[in-house]
Structure 1
Amino acid sequence: MDAAVGGTTISEALAAEAESQELFTLGVEEEYLLFDATEPRATETVDDVLAEIPAALRESVQHEYLRSQIEVASPPQLELSGLHAAMRDLRAEVSAAAERAGARLLAVGTGPAAGPVARLVDTPRYHRMRERFGDLSPGQGLCGTHVHVSIDDAECGVHVLNHLRPWLPILQAATANSPFFGGRDTGYASWRSVMWERWPTVGPTPYLESHDQYLTLVSDLEASGAMLDEGMLYWYARLSARYPTVEIRMGDVMPGLDDTMLLAALTRALVATLVSDVRDGVPAPRVPDPLLVAAHWRAAHDGLEGVNIDMATREPRPAWRLMRQLFDYVRPELERHGDLDTATVLMGRLRSRGTGAARQRAVLAQQGNVADVVDWLARATRGDE
């Protein structure tokens, strides 16, 4: 639920290179489910899988909340190609480790097939969370994608969070990858989002006047009992508690790396664009919280295959039109970071293939069995689809 980016800090050389070119580094965390090698059911094999991870990658792989989950985190990267290589290797190695442990790795937001509720990983913190919050995360686990973008000024970072608010629903829609839960279609593109929102600190980041107010809210939320520590600040965008980054964390984990890389590229370009706006004194839009909640609900329900809310006009629009609007808005920073050509190709692939949710439903329509969806997810996670 909260992890270091690659378990390491950015190197001095990489930081100096980024600073000299006024570029932003980025890192990605992905959470996965562990399923049986042959049956469509989750398995509590995380310790067995971790024992199979090569020593060179061990710092980048760790437990998650439940024994049927595992998490990876890339080292910070300046080049999108470097991020892709790091995540490709992590997915391949963890998939292979899972197979040696008699399991399969699934990049999916919730358990698509029916099965028993998984037990907690045996750590004091997770037991405290279960004692305090009860059974807020039933099933086999909830798996998301988090993108970290470097920012060296916390005050600027807080104002970037304000500017991010109207853009995050459409990014959430693009990540939708959990239509099935317990063997049935939920009617949502991202059922993980619906389940995740039951935690008391999950939701849109509030509009914040300053970093001091941010810290005060963190302290007040801890005192209220709504979270144990700053790591449980589950706003859709936050300042990392451990690293000088803005962390965007509202999306499902996605089946293939193409969509993850597109999210990373767009997120970095968006943060870079908004940093310029903050420095230029451009005020953040004061989007009403109920409208933001409605837009995030729409993202969870429709994904990119339906509609969402244009925050400028407050009118429903085709979600793909809003996705294109976001792409055009951040195009200059995509180009400045050397990501424009790659992001253009990846946008085209997402448009033609659809979100993970749409692709899962297409597999079910063709094959007629959730077990076939699980098989497809395992192949897609390994990079075979």
Structure 2
Amino acid sequence: MALALSPATPGLDLDPLAPPAGRGQPPAAARMTMGVEEEFLLVDRRTRAPVGRAPRVIESASRALGSLVQPELFTAQVETCTSPTASTAVLRAELAWLRAGLVRAAAAEDCLLVASGTAVIPPEPPLTVTPDERYRRMAVRFASAFGDYDQVVCGCHVHVGVASRAEALDLANRMRPWLPTLQAIAANSPFDRGRDTGQASWRAVQHARWPTVGPAPVLDEAAYERIAGDLVRCGALLDRRMIYWYARPSEHVPTLEIRVADVNASLDTVVLMAALVRGLAAVLGAEAYEGRPAPSLECGRLREAHRLAAVHGLGGEGLDPVGGARLPAWELVERLRERVAPGVCAAGDLPFVDGVLDRLRAEGDGAARQRAAHDRRGRLTDVVDGLARTTARA
């Protein structure tokens, strides 16, 4: 699903009070639009297993939420998207409103709305694909990615407004070293269908079964058009919407989309991701305007950084994909925070960002909180109930 995001207002520096600068200059952080897509699971109130009641839930919720709530690949999933905004406070309020509407609609169908990257308890019976022609074609052509129709994953995608596809691709090239750390912050899928996977983000592992999932190649606009066309013509993809790189230009709206995050029950973690992505885009956009080159990264090292982010989240070591050193995940977070600080500060988001990071350091990431809920009594139903309460608390 695409967000209806508008291009960001052009502007040169990171001063939120600065007037718009000339055409072709990078967007100021305070005016750069952002938006979020969230994918949720619907689970039965009694069994806590995923159930295919999304058509009825969406029909009910759409009376209030309109087209901002839509179906996803399986009938046990629902997806929301926000309107474009330059304000994290407005973004948070809209995300909370969307969640509240879905929670009410789900309750009417005897369901709980759950924000987890994977299903904690196995679905029973196997899931069904949403009755949409495109989804059905995907199910046939890419059957190996579906497994036994019981593997469902839910992500959170952050969009930032850009002036052109060329700008989106340039930002994607520059963001590559920082995306593993963003992935680690959002890790929220340690359990999958009744077992602890040993990973902080099992969604990242399962999602990689789909073609093109992974770090984006370094491309300019001409190379992107050539590769995107070739992938569809040779049958590797059904259409260009199936380009699932971790950072990609939207095919429908003028945005750069970042696709590394698990969906998170904690709404503040979701807004944190948006603030960090927007702040990073503002800083890197300013560097592009100054003519600084994008970093050169070794592909295997970058993939290892993403693998470690999926394994450990914030609870272990990560990899600096530029220097190659293995470092505590929190040291990499601190480096990211320092990198984005000018953009985050210019947008007025620094107190919020620091407050959420402090809570994550104290309480752990989503994966750690899921495991803590399980450790108290050894019950997976407690994990689901905790996720549902936190999802609804927004």
TM-score, reference length from structure 2: 0.92
User: How far apart in 2 are the matches of 1:197 and 1:383?
Assistant: 31
C-alpha displacement of 1:207 = 1.4
C-alpha displacement of 1:141 = 1.5
Question: Which residue of structure 1 lines up, in the alignment, with residue 265 of structure 2?
Answer: 255
C-alpha displacement of 1:54 = 4.7
* Residue of 182, 188, 210 corresponding to 2:193: 182
CA deviation vs aligned residue, 1:51-91 (integer Å, no higher than 9, x gap): 21152412100000000000000000111000000000001
Question: Which residue of structure 1 lines up, in the alignment, with residue 178 of structure 2?
Answer: 167
1:226-237 → structure 2 map (5 Å cutoff): 226-237=236-247
> Greater shift after overlay, 61-70 or 270-279?
270-279
What's the secondary structure of 1:178's corresponding residue?
A: coil
* Residue of 183, 198, 203 corresponding to 2:209: 198
What's the secondary structure of 1:377's corresponding residue?
A: helix
User: How far apart in 1 are the matches of 2:331 and 2:324?
Assistant: 14
Amino acid at match of 2:337: F
| 1:91 and 2:99 aligned | yes
C-alpha displacement of 1:140 = 5.0
Paired residues of 2:2 and 2:250 also in contact (CA < 8 A):
no
CA deviation vs aligned residue, 1:74-115 (integer Å, no higher than 9, x gap): 000111000000000001110111001111100000101123
* Residue of 278, 302, 305 corresponding to 1:295: 305
The change in CA–CA distance for 1:327 and 1:25 in structure 2 (over 3 A counts) is same
* Residue of 47, 67, 80 corresponding to 2:55: 47
- Aligned pair count reads 377
Paired residues of 2:5 and 2:161 also in contact (CA < 8 A):
no
What's the secondary structure of 1:167's corresponding residue?
A: helix
Mark the runs of 5 or more structure 1 residues left unpaired by the alignment: none
Question: Which residue of structure 1 lines up, in the alignment, with residue 353 of structure 2?
Answer: 343
* Residue of 17, 22, 33 corresponding to 2:41: 33
| 1:125 and 2:123 aligned | no
C-alpha displacement of 1:247 = 0.4
Amino acid at match of 1:113: I
What's the secondary structure of 1:247's corresponding residue?
A: strand
Question: Which residue of structure 1 lines up, in the alignment, with residue 25 of structure 2?
Answer: none
C-alpha displacement of 1:232 = 0.4
User: How far apart in 2 are the matches of 1:9 and 1:277?
Assistant: 24
Amino acid at match of 1:151: V
What's the secondary structure of 1:187's corresponding residue?
A: coil
Paired residues of 1:156 and 1:278 also in contact (CA < 8 A):
no
Amino acid at match of 2:333: M
Paired residues of 1:33 and 1:106 also in contact (CA < 8 A):
yes
Paired residues of 2:317 and 2:326 also in contact (CA < 8 A):
yes
User: How far apart in 2 are the matches of 1:63 and 1:20?
Assistant: 38
Paired residues of 1:33 and 1:140 also in contact (CA < 8 A):
no
User: How far apart in 2 are the matches of 1:345 and 1:302?
Assistant: 22
Question: Which residue of structure 1 lines up, in the alignment, with residue 290 of structure 2?
Answer: 280
Amino acid at match of 2:112: R
Paired residues of 2:51 and 2:123 also in contact (CA < 8 A):
no
User: How far apart in 1 are the matches of 2:307 and 2:132?
Assistant: 33
TM-score, reference length from structure 1: 0.95
Question: Which residue of structure 1 lines up, in the alignment, with residue 387 of structure 2?
Answer: 377
Question: Which residue of structure 1 lines up, in the alignment, with residue 79 of structure 2?
Answer: 71
Question: Which residue of structure 2 lines up, in the alignment, with residue 105 of structure 1?
Answer: 113
CA deviation vs aligned residue, 1:218-259 (integer Å, no higher than 9, x gap): 011111211111110000000011111110011100111010
What's the secondary structure of 1:57's corresponding residue?
A: helix
C-alpha displacement of 1:299 = 0.6
User: How far apart in 2 are the matches of 1:242 and 1:199?
Assistant: 21
What's the secondary structure of 2:265's corresponding residue?
A: coil
CA deviation vs aligned residue, 1:26-74 (integer Å, no higher than 9, x gap): 0000000000012121110001101211524121000000000000000
1:205-220 → structure 2 map (5 Å cutoff): 205-208=216-219, 210-220=220-230
1:129-144 → structure 2 map (5 Å cutoff): 129-137=138-146, 138-144=149-155
1:15-26 → structure 2 map (5 Å cutoff): 20=20, 22=28, 23-26=31-34
User: How far apart in 2 are the matches of 1:65 and 1:335?
Assistant: 38
Mark the runs of 5 or more structure 2 residues left unpaired by the alignment: 22-27
